[in-house]
Amino acid sequence: MPITTSVTKLLNIRVPVVQGPHFSSSVFTVQYTPGGMQWVGLPKLVAAVSNAGGLGVITALTQPNPEALRNAIRETRKLTKKPFGVNITLLPSINPPDYAGYARAAVEEGVKIFETAGNNPGQLIKYLKENKAIIIHKCTTIRHAKSAAKHGVDVLSIDGFECAGHPGEEDIGGLVLLARAAKELNIPYLASGGIADARGFAAALALGAAGVNMGTRFMCTVEAPIHQNIKQKIVDSTEQDTTHIFRTLHNTARVFKNKVSMEVVAIEKRGGAKFEDIRELVSGQRGRLVYENGDPDYGIWTAGIAIGLINDIPTCEELVSRLESETEQIISNMNSLVVKSKL
């Protein structure tokens, strides 16, 4: 029996699993360009996830301009006939990207599913809804989720403290956030952060989520366009191998614990650190090269504590199929815990 939820029906997918752009919940400073799915949410991976029955998501800001995004959408369409989405994340910046251009290019190419994130998304959401798009919006607090719902988004992605990238400044884990979401939200929501296997998937459903959003887990698949050394590093790591940077700047981001990130943490611990003091260390281009040259210590790259649950590098088809079948089995086994009284 397939796992059917409001999200599978709304998005027309078989399994309620979304390939999170990973960086999309990250907070960025003016000069910081993130790693993570910033460089991973490309057509090959996106199509593989969609073909496997989930929802693949192109990261718009991976592309240098709206025309490049248009080409990426066309490339993805050549690889899958299944639904896929586009992520547009609003970044705090003096010179912001052409968000309107990215949105317009995607809409003109017929994309009907968008994931949004970041501050003040009202105008973007308004434009997408005017074009009859389905919107998934990422939040790290219930109050922000309620605000997004008022703007008219269709699905919320609730990011717990376990997530890669930006977990917010309130340090609330997914267990509590998701339970609160079940009580207080009136639209479907996805669970995001710390989910990499069927146990997490089943737990999310039990907590009221209509599906899951996974970033780190999809980084460690055959189709993810990153160096094999980095995938193996994820397999070899535990949940203790991430750290938070930008804590003292009130701009917290969870990243992989390596030489560079620990140097950033050390600078922050001295007190009075400014972004200029760490700018070169957190360069997005250095993070991008991690995925190309395979050196996990070359720059900052994001990873959630879900790395403690990842011990192989499957294809997306193998991963989604396994998630589906094992989650169904867990749910079935839990049914056996309820014994009807003979009285």
Per residue in 46-69, pLDDT (tens digit) is 999 999 999 999 999 989 999 999
CB neighbours of residue 51 within 10 Å: 18
Does the structure show a pLDDT above 70 at 36? no
With a CB cutoff of 8 Å and minimum separation 6, the contacts of 262 are: 243
Q: Are 109 and 103 in contact (CB under 8 A)?
A: no
pLDDT of residue 251: 86
Q: Is 114 helix (H, G, I), strand (E, B) or coil?
A: strand
Does the structure show a pLDDT above 80 at 94? no
Q: How confident is the model at residue 310 (pLDDT cuts 50, 70, 90)?
A: very high
Q: In whole angstroms, what is the distance from residue 223 CA to residue 203 CA? A: 27
Q: Is 6-226 assigned to CATH 3.20.20.70?
A: yes
Residue 239: name the closest of 308, 137, 145 by CA: 308
Q: Are 308 and 238 in contact (CB under 8 A)?
A: yes
Does the structure show a pLDDT above 70 at 26? no
How far CA 53 is from CA of 48, 206, 306, 316, in Å, comes to 9, 21, 21, 9
Residues of the chain above pLDDT 90, percent: 79
**Assessment of whether the complete model's pTM goes beyond 0.75:** yes
First to last CA, the chain: 31
Does the structure show a pLDDT above 50 at 28? no
Q: Which residue has the tokens 């079948």?
A: 325
Strand 113-118 to 155-159 pairing:
unpaired
pLDDT of residue 340: 79
Q: What is the mean pLDDT of residues 105-113?
A: 98
Of 27-36, 72-81, 157-166, the range with the lowest mean pLDDT is 27-36
pLDDT of residue 29: 39
Does the structure show a pLDDT above 80 at 203? yes
Does the structure show a pLDDT above 90 at 31? no
Q: Are 145 and 126 in contact (CB under 8 A)?
A: no
> For residue 230, which amino acid is it?
I
> For residue 219, which amino acid is it?
M
Per residue, the 3-state secondary structure of 11-24, as one string, reads HCCCCCEEECCCHH
Please, what is the average pLDDT of the chain?
91
Q: Indicate the domain borders of the chain.
A: 6-226
Residue 27: name the closest of 244, 220, 241 by CA: 244
